[in-house]
Structure 1
Amino acid sequence: MTSLPPGAYTSLPPGAYRPANDRWGAFSRVSATLPEGSLVVVDKRVAKLHPSLLPALQARRPHAILQIMGGERAKSFESLEQVLSAGIMLPRSGTLVAIGGGTIGDVCTMAAHLLKRGVRLVQVPTTLLAAVDSSLGGKGAVDVTVNGQVVKNPVGVFHYAEETWLCPELFESLSDTQRREGALEAWKMVASLDAQLFQNYTRRPPSLERLVKDARRLKETVCAQDPYEQQGLRRVLNFGHTFGHVLESVSRFKLSHGDAVGLGMLCALDVGRSLGVTPDKVAARVETALEKGPGVLNRKRTAALLKRAALEDIEALLAADKKTGAAGELRMVLLTDIGVAEVRDVSAPEWRALWPAWTKGVRP
């Protein structure tokens, strides 16, 4: 992906598809192009960990700098209203900058789409997970509580960022857990989209920058063909997400999104094997690669989480998921080979048959 000049796509309708416009470099350098009078939303933890960040932003005379705490709780209507209130005086030509992980990016994407019916959006991912996935693809969403259970992302928009700033120094403060969950999301794309890259990764682990660039290239290739998920092509990006979102919810979001996707991929491999879609050798090879590469969590973690919830609660979470078909079937992404995936409808009896093994923490 090549960097485009600032404002190259300002003639497009607000939120319209834009090719990824990645700008790599030190934050002090890339932020020097920020238009004055912008609204900046930054994760409080990031501002504390990187004390040079706020002075660099203040030098651009922003309309406001709003600090909010990232995490799943940020993906709420309350946080969205907070951002909207801070940006109420922005002109339609204004810019909203999202600095943080995926949750900050999600709520800011929603706000950028709603403010003045669409303002310019700049994504600045500060976690590996946001850099490889959520900051690219135009999607923003908030969570909704249904019958006491938090449902992930049922209310959202498409609003593509005009620029994404990728600043390596912002990744230096990441914990091992944050690096693992971002790597799992990247490996998800490699395992389901690129057999040669998967083979390369299993031979020699990539650097962090290489991982980010590869994952963003793979996702951009898919999003460019189906920017608004109208053709079904983007569904391949949901590999591991069906049961991953369930595990996140039953953990009350103590399980990180990336780790949940990792465990969700193991569930998807199991479903694929049981339906005869995923060959045994493929499933075993991917699971081994996830263990040795990014370090997917043990199946015992899946068992511990699923034992917390009744089967009917799991069914309710799945039914509320946006990837469920009209008849209640799960539309799951299953591997047919390394780098090749397809969407299959999975009935309740088919996945329930795996429940005993999952709650014991063993491979079915």
Structure 2
Amino acid sequence: MSPLPPGAYKPATDHWGSFTKLSKRLPEGSVAVVDRTVAHFHPGLIPALEARNPRAIIQITGGEKAKNLASLEKVLVGGIALPRSGTLVVVGGGTLGDVATVAAHLLKRGVRLVQVPTTLLAAVDSSLGGKGAVDLISRGNVVKNPAGVFHYADEGWICPELFASLSESQLREGAIEAWKMVVCLDGPLFRRYMRKAPELKKLVKDARRLKESVCAQDPYEQTGLRRVLNFGHSFGHVLESLSRFKLSHGDAVGLGMLCALDVGRTMGITPASVADEVEQVLYRGPGVLGRDRIAHLLRRAPIGAVVDLLAADKKAGKSGELRMVLLTGIGAFEVRDVPEATWRTLWPAWKQGLRP
């Protein structure tokens, strides 16, 4: 059987265990990209990689500021000697995972990729599904993810000890992404979450199972099913950009979900009872931030900047129309075009931190 071409869909292959144990799976002569901060908190990480005689260990401090062309170039240069059959392993959160995914696709026109997520957010979301991208600057604003690729990881290593150094806010934003998938895709599971919040390991496994089921059916976002993963992202990305990324991605998606519930209710797509219930559960369960944070970010933002950010969003339709994932029930959704006039009617309430 001939090898799959670069970017081809590959089912998720997860391995759970300690990093020291799983690192023995790494072929010698690989290239590693490691979050410098993670290496500081977990001093055994670099020695475990060095034991595999890597060609290079590239350390980059993770965070949205690292998700740029300069970081991508650093990884590409560090991986020049990697053969086509080589492996690139990335140990870090979603931003480094994104950069490494693009690099793995470009190096020698495609090398093996191993994802080792070190944040809960990356574990439940970005390390799975093959997508990688870097940010660009447009009209003075950072636009998220306009330049990217599909390059599915050959393996995912889930090392629970790497989550031990995460802050409360980092755990919250990962939980928000996981609960987002559950509310859109699995109503009965969401009801169980409402009664009792899951333990971390179950949360990760449930989220990865749900995301994998979507990606298997729509690996390149062509059928439309995979759009469900963008629930909360349209206005979430706007808020993230307006904060100049002081607002974390997970928290931004949480606030974006509140906006999406408002839009859905206004358009008559999301029943008011569903919007009310989901909003309250998002506060109690994963701990979505309050609407006062939306107000703080929008208070000084010119509406024209929001229009530009929405127009630049890669999820827009062919004619630039805003396409959003809107709930029709718990565990059910539709993708709808949202007229600008609709969300503009919600703007005054959002600027005051109120529920329209």
Q: CA deviation at 1:329?
A: 1.8
CA deviations on 1:322-348 (whole Å, 9 max, x unpaired) are 111233321000000000011000010
| 1:187 counterpart = 2:151 | no
Aligned with 1:277: secondary structure? coil
Q: Does the Cα contact within 8 Å between 1:303 and 1:360 map onto a contact in 2? A: yes
Count of aligned positions = 356
Tell me which of 296, 317, 334 is aligned to 1:342. 334
Match of 2:260 among 240, 265, 268: 268
User: What's 2:271 paired with?
Assistant: 279
Q: Which amino acid aligns with 1:162?
A: D
Note if contact 1:125-1:166 (Cα within 8 Å) is conserved in structure 2: yes
Deviation at 1:123, TM superposition (A): 0.1
Higher mean displacement: 324-333 or 131-140: 324-333
Match among 215, 218, 227 for residue 223 of structure 1 = 215
User: Residue 74 of structure 1 contacts residue 103 of structure 1 at CA under 8 Å; is this kept in 2?
Assistant: yes
1:26 matches 2:18: yes
The gaps in structure 2 that reach 5 residues or longer are none
Instruction: Indicate conservation of the 8 Å contact 1:250/1:308, yes or no.
Output: no
In structure 1, the residue matched to 2:155 is 163
1:53-104 per-residue CA deviation (whole Å, 9 max, x = no partner) reads: 1111100100110100100011100000000000001000000001000000
What SS class does the counterpart of residue 97 from structure 1 fall into? strand
Question: Counterpart of 1:256 in structure 2: which amino acid?
Answer: S
Q: Are 1:97 and 2:89 matched, yes or no?
A: yes
Question: Structure 2: how far apart are the matches of 1:38 and 1:15?
Answer: 19
The equivalent position to 2:144 in structure 1, one of 132, 136, 152, is: 152
CA RMSD of aligned residues (A): 0.9
CA deviations over 1:9-45 (Å, ceiling 9, x no partner): 9822222110000000011111111000000000000
> SS state of the match for residue 152, structure 2?
coil
Map 1:77-92 onto structure 2 (within 5 A): 77-92=69-84
SS in 2 for 1:353: helix
Q: TM-score, normalised by structure 1?
A: 0.97
Letter paired with 2:123: A
Structure 1 unpaired stretches of 5+: 1-8
Structure 2 counterpart SS, 1:214: helix
1:319 maps onto 2:330 in alignment: no
SS of the aligned residue for 1:189 comes to: helix
Equivalent residue for 2:170, pick from 171, 178, 186: 178
Alignment of 1:57 onto 2:58: no
Moved more, 247-256 or 305-314: 305-314
**2:300 maps to 1:308:** yes
Q: Percent identity?
A: 71
TM-score normalised by the chain length of structure 2: 0.99
Q: Deviations over 1:111-170 (max 9, x none)?
A: 000000000000000000000000000000000100000000011000000000000100
Q: Equivalent residue for 1:6?
A: none
Alpha-carbon contact 1:269-1:278 (below 8 Å) kept: yes
Partner residue of 2:130 out of 138, 158, 162: 138
Between the aligned partners of 1:136 and 1:56, the Cα distance in structure 2 is 24
Distance 2:52 2:325 in 1: 44
Q: Distance in 1 between matches of 2:20 and 2:39?
A: 14
User: Equivalent residue for 1:214?
Assistant: 206
Residue 230 of structure 1 deviates from its aligned partner by 1.1
Q: Which amino acid aligns with 2:202?
A: R
Q: Distance in 2 between matches of 1:11 and 1:84?
A: 23
- Give structure 1 regions of 4+ aligned residues with deviation exceeding 6 angstroms: none
CA distance in 1 between counterparts of 2:138 and 2:91 reads 29
Letter in structure 1 aligned against 2:126:
S
**Stretch moving more, 318-327 or 288-297:** 318-327
Equivalent-residue separation in structure 2 for 1:175 and 1:276 (angstroms): 38
Q: In the alignment, does 2:352 pair up with 1:356? A: no
| d(CA) in 1 for partners of 2:142, 2:268 | 33
Following the alignment from structure 2 to structure 1, what is the Cα–Cα distance between the partners of residues 154 and 112? 7
| C-alpha distance in 1 between matches for 2:246 and 2:319 | 31
Match of 1:111 in 2: 103
Alpha-carbon contact 1:333-1:343 (below 8 Å) kept? yes
Query: Residue 36 of structure 1 is aligned with which of 28, 32, 37?
Result: 28
Instruction: State how far apart, in whole Å, the 1-side matches of 2:47 and 2:259 are.
Output: 46
CA distance in 1, matches of 2:320, 2:263: 16
SS in 2 for 1:140: strand
